Structure 1
Amino acid sequence: MIDRIYQLTDGWRHSRLLFGLLGLLLAVVAGYLIGKMGIMGGLLVIALPVGIATLVMILLEPKVGVYLYANLSFLIGAARFMDGDIQVGLGLDGLLVLTFAATLLNARRMNWKRLKNPAFYCVCLWLFYTILEYFNPDSPYPPAWFYHARSFSLSWAFLSFIVLVNPITKNDVWLLIKTWLVWSVIAAFWGFKQQYGHALGLRDLEQAELNWLAAGGARTHILWGQLRSFSFYSDAGQFGSEMAGVTLICLILFMNEKRWFSKFLYVGLTLVIFWGFAVSGTRSALFVLIGGYGAYLVLQRKLKPILLSAAVGIPILCILLFTHLGDGVYQIYRIRTALRPTQDESFLVRLENQQRLKAYLVNLPFGTGIGSSSGAGVRFTPWHWAAQIPPDSWYVQLWIETGIVGLSVYLFVLAGIILTGIWQLWRLKDPWITTLMLILLCEFIGICVVSYSNPILGQFPTSTMLYINSMLFASAGRWEKANERMSE
């Protein structure tokens, strides 16, 4: 016994010596970096151990990488606050590849059987088609493929693989949803600051936001002297659609919650986040709620919720459609105009653009190549007609870049994933898992609906959450099987 105590004491002495040497080395490095780089050097010293610890955590538990990737996706729009050309998106791509590599390194703990999933086959089909698009002879600049292929299919394929095989628990899913709610509340309040900050004695917009508006954002974000709040998202369209989607989540949680305290909490969250949608001025985001909540009612397969929702929803729609109540409030007026598209000049312009595109694309069944329109098109081939006509829609962008064939494949993929999710959902028996999967599936459907009018399905963080969620609800049965085996 005495010998054992002596061994432990001796080992502790050696450990103290080792930690002391490491601490001394770190102090020397910190002093050098601060002397050379100033404050940035000090921040680097702090970030380096955190980065190493994060790397080790991801390598040991890859699902940590998925959670971190989801969180950082919400900050990509904040790049406008950073000086210099910082490629935040490439950093996220690196994190995704690292998580993929960690998944392979932990192969023994992964459930490879889950890859035998119709939704995963659909994603692979879309990935294969987008790879073939690199060789599209009508592409004006093939290297631009890499800039749009990430949001089109590559990130989806990586995330699908990782999410399916990793041992993700239902508590992990609930943590992801709660994190989503927290980010949405923060985003809503930042949007309120942009809209009402002057009334509270705060700056409405930071200098970086003013610079972004001056660089071209004002054309679509200041209408008739009224700011469309965009929070820390890429634009108001993305912000509004995200707020509408999370409003839907809060509504479903409220409908399925039995505890009164939690019900009041979800009502409060619904009001805050819904007004976040309102201050964005994104009219079409209303269809996230209409499409998603409609899907929720149908998937419930119960008459009572449908009747109750109709009793509440129909009067609201009638007020919006046939009266002018609330028109004095700009946000309500903007929401009302979404229900009258034929009277909206911007909607009519979109229809005209689509007619022009139809004439161009009639002999291009495979489109003009991925990366030929929108951001990458304007950057690399601004002289090409595909870059000169704004798509104003995710599906129209796919139509331009992948043709009618590619758009058809993509819609088939979305339908396949949704049908797989419904099939999984209707087989569930656990009420809590059913609620979680309803949330993910209905929000997915709502975003798919609104993507006709906004190109948000391929933007961070919307794309990240949809790509993760699509594989969660498409493999919903995994948790019920786990409950039976008590292994997860």
Structure 2
Amino acid sequence: MTGFVRSYTHEHGGRVATLFLLFLLAIYIFITSGFTGFAFVCATPLIILFAYIAFKQSYIIFWTLLIVNYNVQFFSFNEWLPNGIPLSAYNELIEITLIAIAIIDIRKDHHWGRAINMMSFAILLWVLLCALEIFNDTCRLGINVNAWFIGFRLIAFQLVYIILVFSIYIDSPEILTNYLKIWAILSLFSVYWTIKQKYIGLNSFENARIHAYGSTHFVNGIVRYWSTFSDAANYGCNAAATSVCFLLIGLTSKFTKERIFYIITGLLVLWGMFQSGTRVALACFFAGLMVYVVLSKSVKFAAPIIIFGVVAFVFLAFTNIGQGNNQIRRMRSAFNKNDASANVRTINQATMAKYLKEAPWGIGIGIRSGEVPARNKYVVLSNIAPDSEYVYIWIHTGRIGLTVFLVSMFLMLAGACWIVLFKLRNKSLAGIGAGFCCAFAAMQLGAYGNQVLYQYPNGLIFFGGLAIVYVLPYLEKDWETYEQTKLAKQEEKKRLKLEKKLASRV
């Protein structure tokens, strides 16, 4: 055994060093997440079992990541998770495990080079900016490495995990297809839970949330349903982006059953979006469609989308038709210049701008409400609840950080759109890529209006989806073969069905 370890270390020194760094990172996450030594000892049997399954069937762990990411918030609010474990720890430890497996498993080429692209460059820019924030002491509280690291993990380093995991594990047409189906099933479960909340009723935990956050989820006598998500805004923006993605994938798919499945999924998720009562969600949906107008390069697709968008805008902004409907009235308020909620946001942002003039690097990553002393002039910034992801970035990293963040987001989206426009020749594969690009653009608009971009389950889904777009050119040749084989089977089934039908008439 010792000889094997020495031999492996000698031949794969870089892998061993990387694994050691990942191990240290995992331990540090345990420590900063609030795990005690006793908790670690108690969890050891589960960790060993998890590691065994991981090395035997790594894709089980990948699918587990998707399911955990989508439902961890839901499980937490229903108190189905152990106390004291931060929600971010679940994703991070699974992602580290997946990366470690890829490093150790020398039997397979994991195509690490696929992770080197415009998106990884954009992420690197953002990560470097956030790394520099460790020296930001604008509030004169001293440098707190632990607080900085927690924030750094949540808004920057998790993107590194995501692009690595998706670049490595989305490596075949079958895996890509399974990924889309699992995501669709998870989205349909959220639709089911919305139906349950609306027509069957809320459970005890959900009722408690309504009473605790009534002003958020109970507006003018209307319940804003949040399904399995943290809040209605998160659900609405996610549903808008998800519905755009599945509708576009369905419309461009060549497989009849999958086309029907994805279009139905998109329409049902779109229905769920309206139940959330999230005003910006409708704008997210149309933003995603507008991006597809460019990516489709087709007047046949572009014309009806533009006409539909113009009609919907005129309907909501310049008429009172359907004002008696709760959902329509809620969506129409987004176009009301005198809306009280919008005015409060404007006032808050004006206050932030005044203080942030003297803080180009922001108040610092990891600074939370209540940590800045009352006599400190930046206490106002630490206590104002950010009304969007961009505002959160602006407060904590200043105009410098916000600029780098916006440039990074633009670069990764532009690079993905370029791939869809100019590199992919297969129409159905380009449709998948376009769906992910449009969903990402929709979520960015959602992030402008609400703090949702890094909320569960959005980060992994939409940044992961964009990472998949960068992998698609490597899969195109195999996709052509996969598609032709599947189409041949589809045609054979049609032929046999027709023969059986004709035979029954004789």
Taking structure 2 as the reference length, the TM-score comes to 0.78
SS at match of 2:137: coil
CA contact (8 A) 1:192 1:279 kept: no
CA contact (8 A) 1:283 1:335 kept: yes
Q: CA deviation at 1:454?
A: 0.8
Indicate whether 1:389 and 2:389 are aligned. Answer: no
CA contact (8 A) 2:248 2:432 kept: no
AA in 2 matched with 1:371: G
Paired residue for 1:322, among 318, 324, 330? 318
CA contact (8 A) 2:224 2:277 kept: yes
1:389 and 1:267 map into 2 onto residues whose CA distance is: 41
Q: CA deviation at 1:75?
A: 1.2
Instruction: State the partner residue of 1:80.
Output: 77
Deviates more, 1:133-142 or 1:460-469: 133-142
Instruction: State the partner residue of 1:282.
Output: 278
CA contact (8 A) 2:73 2:87 kept: no
Task: Go from structure 1 to structure 2 and tell me whether the alpha carbon gap of 1:483 and 1:326 turns closer, same or farther (over 3 Å shift).
Answer: closer
Indicate whether 1:241 and 2:222 are aligned. Answer: no
Q: CA deviation at 1:158?
A: 1.4
Indicate whether 1:152 and 2:143 are aligned. Answer: no
SS at match of 2:181: helix
2:180 and 2:168 map into 1 onto residues whose CA distance is: 20
Q: CA deviation at 1:127?
A: 1.2
Q: CA deviation at 1:145?
A: 2.2
Indicate whether 1:94 and 2:89 are aligned. Answer: no
SS at match of 2:369: helix
What percentage of residue pairs aligned between the two structures are identical?
A: 25
Instruction: State the partner residue of 2:369.
Output: 378
Deviations 1:261-318 (A, max 9, x none): 6555445333321121111111111122111110011111122211122333332332
Indicate whether 1:401 and 2:396 are aligned. Answer: yes
Indicate whether 1:58 and 2:54 are aligned. Answer: yes
SS at match of 2:471: coil
Instruction: State the partner residue of 2:104.
Output: 105
1:283 and 1:485 map into 2 onto residues whose CA distance is: 43
Deviations 1:330-377 (A, max 9, x none): 112112222x142321111111111100000001111111122xxxx1
Deviates more, 1:357-366 or 1:253-262: 253-262
Q: CA deviation at 1:433?
A: 1.5
CA contact (8 A) 1:247 1:274 kept: yes
Indicate whether 1:210 and 2:207 are aligned. Answer: yes
SS at match of 1:328: coil
Instruction: State the partner residue of 2:355.
Output: 360
CA contact (8 A) 2:416 2:437 kept: yes
Report matched runs for 1:99-138 at 5 Å: 99-107=98-106, 109-138=109-138
2:59 and 2:255 map into 1 onto residues whose CA distance is: 31
2:254 and 2:470 map into 1 onto residues whose CA distance is: 27
Deviations 1:402-443 (A, max 9, x none): 111111111111111112112221211122221211111110
CA contact (8 A) 2:252 2:427 kept: no
2:94 and 2:181 map into 1 onto residues whose CA distance is: 22
CA contact (8 A) 1:170 1:433 kept: no
Report matched runs for 1:399-438 at 5 Å: 399-425=394-420, 426-438=422-434
Instruction: State the partner residue of 1:169.
Output: 172
SS at match of 1:475: helix
Task: Go from structure 1 to structure 2 and tell me whether the alpha carbon gap of 1:379 and 1:137 turns closer, same or farther (over 3 Å shift).
Answer: closer
Instruction: State the partner residue of 1:5.
Output: none
Report matched runs for 1:243-322 at 5 Å: 243-257=239-253, 264-322=260-318
Task: Go from structure 1 to structure 2 and tell me whether the alpha carbon gap of 1:117 and 1:264 turns closer, same or farther (over 3 Å shift).
Answer: closer
Task: Go from structure 1 to structure 2 and tell me whether the alpha carbon gap of 1:460 and 1:427 turns closer, same or farther (over 3 Å shift).
Answer: same
Task: Go from structure 1 to structure 2 and tell me whether the alpha carbon gap of 1:265 and 1:476 turns closer, same or farther (over 3 Å shift).
Answer: closer
1:382 and 1:187 map into 2 onto residues whose CA distance is: 42
Q: CA deviation at 1:51?
A: 7.1
Task: Go from structure 1 to structure 2 and tell me whether the alpha carbon gap of 1:355 and 1:330 turns closer, same or farther (over 3 Å shift).
Answer: same
AA in 2 matched with 1:82: E
AA in 1 matched with 2:90: G
Task: Go from structure 1 to structure 2 and tell me whether the alpha carbon gap of 1:250 and 1:166 turns closer, same or farther (over 3 Å shift).
Answer: closer
2:479 and 2:193 map into 1 onto residues whose CA distance is: 41
Instruction: State the partner residue of 1:227.
Output: 223
Deviates more, 1:356-365 or 1:255-264: 255-264
Report matched runs for 1:18-37 at 5 Å: none
Deviates more, 1:116-125 or 1:284-293: 116-125
CA contact (8 A) 1:456 1:462 kept: yes
1:341 and 1:411 map into 2 onto residues whose CA distance is: 27
AA in 1 matched with 2:384: I
Deviations 1:72-124 (A, max 9, x none): 01112120111744433322222122122112112552213223312112112
CA contact (8 A) 2:426 2:480 kept: no
Aligned residues: 429
AA in 2 matched with 1:268: I
